[in-house]
Structure 1
């Protein structure tokens, strides 16, 4: 699933298929990790 509003595909699809290449992929994975951390931090 793509997240067009954020300007790149989500790590769930193809992390390195981003305009920034490998560098963009790294930023993307970091963004995905941050999203996951936020989800875990939320009260159940």
Structure 2
């Protein structure tokens, strides 16, 4: 996040081994899921 300029938008892909791994978290997040986050830096 430190490299993001204010107002920028980034998409982060978190592989399963850095996320929840082989655990089923919910009906929406299954085991071994890649997590995807859309982040907009509004203010730092």
Q: Pick the structure with greater CA Rg.
A: 2
Q: Which has the higher helix share?
A: 1
TM-score class, shorter: under 0.3
Greater relative contact order structure (CA < 8 Å, 6+ sep)? 2
TM-score by length of 2: 0.24
